[in-house]
Chain A
Amino acid sequence: MSTRRPKSRARVDSKGKEKKPDASPSGSVAGSGHPDDVFPLTLTSATQELFGCRCDEDVTADKPFKLLRKEDVLHDMRISSAVSDFSPVKQLVLDYPADELLLAYDRDLIYGSNFYLVLTVEAKDRHLKSLEAVGGEEALEPETSDLFTAQNTPEPKSWISLGSEKEIDEESVTDSRPRLKYRISRVRRAFGAPIRFSDRNAAETKDGYIECTPYQDKNFILKQMKRHCGVQAIPNFKSSSTQTRWTYPKNMCTQYEPREFSEEEKENCLLSKELKHFINLVGSRFDVAIQKNEIMDVFLDDWKALSEEDTSYGGKADTHLKEYQSFTDLHHSKDKTISSISWHPTINGVIAVAVTERLSFEDRINAFNKLLLNPSVILFWSFSDPINPQLLLECPDDVFSFEFCPSDPNIIVGGCMNGQVVLWDISAHVERLQGTRSSGEKKITANNNKLQGFEDKRENETSLVRYCAVSSIEHGHKAPITDIQWLPETFEVSRMGVPMENMNGICVQIVTCAPDCCVMFWDIRAPRVAAQTLADQKMQKVEEKPLENPHGAPNTFKHLKLTWKPLAKVSLPNMDTSGEYSPLKISLRDNTCDYHTAINADRAQLNAEGSDLAPDYSLLRMPSAKQHKPLEDICTQFYAGTEDGEIVYTDWKLEKDDSGRIFSTKPSHHFIIHDGLVNTVRRSPFFKDIILTVGGWTIAIWKEGVMNGPIIHSSCQKKCTVGYWSPSRPAVFFIGMEDGNIEVWDLLEKTHEPSQTQNITDTQITCIKPWVISSKQHLLAVSDHLGSLHILEIPWTLRRPSRNEKLSVDTYFEKEVDRLVYFEKRTEMRAKEKKNMEADELRKKMETILPEKTEKQISEEAKKEYDDHLSLEKVILKDMGLQPDTDNMADI
Chain B
Amino acid sequence: MAEVEETLKRIQSQKGVQGILIVNAEGIPIKTTLDSSNTAQYAGLIHQLVMKARSTVREIDPQNDLTFLRIRSKKNEIMIAPDKDYFLIVIQNPSD
Residues from chain B with a CB closer than 8 A to the CB of A285 are 67-68, 81
Whether the pair A266, B30 counts as a contact (CB closer than 8 A) is yes
Residues of B within 8 A of A287 (CB): 10-11, 14
With both chains docked as a complex, state the minimum distance between the C-beta of B16 and any C-beta of chain A, in angstroms: 7
A98 adjacent to chain B (CB < 8 Å)? no
A275-B86, A290-B14 given; A282·B81 CB < 8 A = yes
B83 contacts which chain A residues (CB < 8 A)?
278, 281-282
Stretch at the interface among A44-52, A200-208, A255-263, A454-462: A255-263
A258 and B77 contact, Cβ closer than 8 Å, known pairs A282-B83, A283-B7: no
B31 at interface, CB cutoff 8 A: yes
Q: A299 — nearest CB in chain B belongs to which residue?
A: B72
Pair A294/B94 contact, Cβ less than 8 Å: yes
Q: Which residues of chain A come closer than 8 Å to B61, judged between CB atoms?
A: none
Q: Tell whether A853 is near chain B: CB-to-CB under 8 Å.
A: no
Q: CA A285 – CA B10 in complex, angstroms?
A: 13
- Kindly list chain A residues whose C-beta atoms are within 8 Å of the C-beta of B17: 290
Please measure, in the bound complex, the distance between the C-alpha atom of A281 and the C-alpha atom of B7, giving whole angstroms: 11
Considering the complex, give the chain B residue whose CB is closest to the CB of A261: B28
User: Does chain B have a CB within 8 A of A274?
Assistant: yes
B30 lies within 8 A of A279 (CB): no
Judging by beta carbons under 8 Å apart, are B15 and A294 in contact? yes
Contact A260 B94 (CB under 8 A): no
Contact with B along A269-300 (1 / 0, CB 8 A): 11100111011111101110111011001011
Interface centre among B8, B30, B95 (most CB of A within 10 A): B30
The verdict on A289 contacting B79 (CB below 8 Å), with A276-B4, A294-B94 known, is yes
CB distance A279 to B7 under 8 Å?
yes
Q: How many CB-defined contacts (below 8 Å) exist between A and B?
A: 86
What's the minimum C-beta distance from B6 to chain A, rounded to whole angstroms? 9
Contact B81 A286 (CB under 8 A): yes
Q: Name the residue of chain A whose CB is nearest to the CB of B72.
A: A299
Bound complex: CA A278 to CA B11 (Å): 15
How far does the alpha carbon of A526 sit from the alpha carbon of B40 in the complex, in Å?
57
Say if the beta carbon of B90 comes within 8 Å of chain A: yes
Q: Which residues of A contact B59 (CB under 8 A)?
A: none
A279 to B12, CA, bound (A): 14
A266 to B1, CA, bound (A): 12
Contact assessment for A279 and B14 in the assembled complex, using a CB-CB cutoff below 8 Å: no
Contacts of B3 in A (CB 8 A): 276, 279-280
Q: Are B8 and A269 in contact (CB under 8 A)?
A: no
Given contacts A276-B4, A279-B7, contact A269 B30 (CB under 8 A): yes
Select A293's contact among B7, B11, B24, B92, beta carbons within 8 Å.
Answer: B92
Q: How far is the CA of A259 from the CA of B77 in the complex (A)?
A: 25
Is B86 touching A286 in the complex (CB atoms < 8 A)?
Answer: no
**What A residues does B40 contact at CB under 8 A?**
258, 260
A283 to B81, CA, bound (A): 9
Task: Choose one: B1, B29, B88; the contact of A271 (CB below 8 Å).
Answer: B1
CA distance A290 to B29 in the complex (A): 22
A297 touches B81 (CB 8 A): no
Indicate which residue in B15, B27, B68, B88 contacts A279 across the interface (CB closer than 8 Å). B88
Alpha-carbon distance A697/B30, docked complex (angstroms): 67
Given contacts A259-B26, A274-B85, whether A289 and B4 have CB atoms under 8 Å apart is: no
Q: Is the interface of A mostly helix, strand, loop or mixed?
A: helix
Q: Is the CB of B10 within 8 A of A293?
A: no
Q: Is B43 an interface residue (CB 8 A)?
A: yes
Would you give the shortest CB distance from A490 to chain B, in whole angstroms? 30
Contact B95 A259 (CB under 8 A): no
Q: Does B90 lie within 8 Å of A286, measured CB to CB?
A: yes
State in angstroms the CA–CA spacing of A271 and B10 once bound together: 19
Query: Which residue on chain A has the smallest CB distance to residue B11?
Result: A286
Min CB distance A409 to B, Å, is 38
Contact call B77/A293, Cβ cutoff below 8 A: yes
B72-96: CB near A (< 8 Å → 1, else 0) gives 1000010101010110101010110
Q: Which residue of A259, A275, A290 is within 8 Å of B4 (Cβ)? A: A275
Given contacts A290-B17, A293-B94, contact A283 B67 (CB under 8 A): no
The chain B residue sitting closest to A274, CB to CB, is: B85
A112 to B34, CA, bound (A): 138
Within 8 Å CB of B90, what residues of A? 286, 290
Cβ distance B93 to chain A, nearest Cβ, rounded Å: 9
Query: Which of B4, B27, B44 has the largest number of chain A CB atoms within 10 A?
Result: B4
Contact A282 B88, beta carbon cutoff 8 Å:
yes
Given contacts A269-B24, A275-B22, A279-B7, contact A258 B95 (CB under 8 A): no
Query: In the bound complex, how far is the Cα of B43 from the Cα of A294, in angstroms?
Result: 25
From the candidates A259, A281, A283, name the one contacting B28 in the complex (CB within 8 A).
A259
A280 touching B92, Cβ below 8 Å: no
Q: Specify which chain A residues have a CB less than 8 angstroms from the CB of B77 in the assembled complex.
A: 293
Q: In the complex, what distance in Å separates the CA atom of A299 from the CA atom of B3?
A: 34
Residues of A within 8 A of B94 (CB): 293-294, 297
Q: Does B70 lie at the interface of the complex (its beta carbon under 8 Å from any beta carbon of A)?
A: yes
For the complex, give the distance between the alpha carbons of A56 and B15 in Å: 161
Is there an interface contact between B88 and A286, defined as CB atoms closer than 8 Å? Answer: yes
In the bound complex, residues from chain A placing their C-beta under 8 Å from that of B28 are 258-261
Partner of B7, one of A260, A280, A299, A300: A280
Which listed residue (A259, A283, A289, A299) contacts B10, Cβ 8 A? A283
Chain B residues with Cβ under 8 A from A266's Cβ?
30-31
Asked whether, in the complex, the Cβ of A279 is within 8 Å of the Cβ of B4, the reply is yes
* Smallest CB-CB A-B distances: 9 pairs: A293-B94, A258-B40, A282-B81, A283-B7, A290-B14, A269-B30, A278-B83, A259-B28, A278-B86
Q: Which residues of chain A have a CB within 8 Å of any CB of chain B? A: 258-261, 266, 269-271, 274-276, 278-283, 285-287, 289-291, 293-294, 297, 299-300
Task: Enumerate chain B interface residues (CB-CB to A < 8 A).
Answer: 1, 3-4, 7-8, 10-11, 14-17, 22, 24, 26-31, 40, 43-44, 67-68, 70, 72, 77, 79, 81, 83, 85-86, 88, 90, 92, 94-95
15 contacts between A and B (CB under 8 A): A258-B40, A258-B43, A258-B44, A266-B30, A266-B31, A269-B24, A270-B1, A279-B4, A282-B81, A287-B11, A290-B15, A290-B79, A293-B16, A294-B15, A297-B95
**Contacts A275-B85, A290-B92 known; 20 new A-B pairs at CB < 8 A:** A258-B28, A258-B43, A259-B28, A260-B29, A260-B40, A261-B24, A261-B29, A270-B1, A274-B85, A275-B30, A276-B3, A278-B88, A279-B7, A280-B7, A286-B81, A287-B10, A289-B79, A290-B16, A291-B14, A293-B94
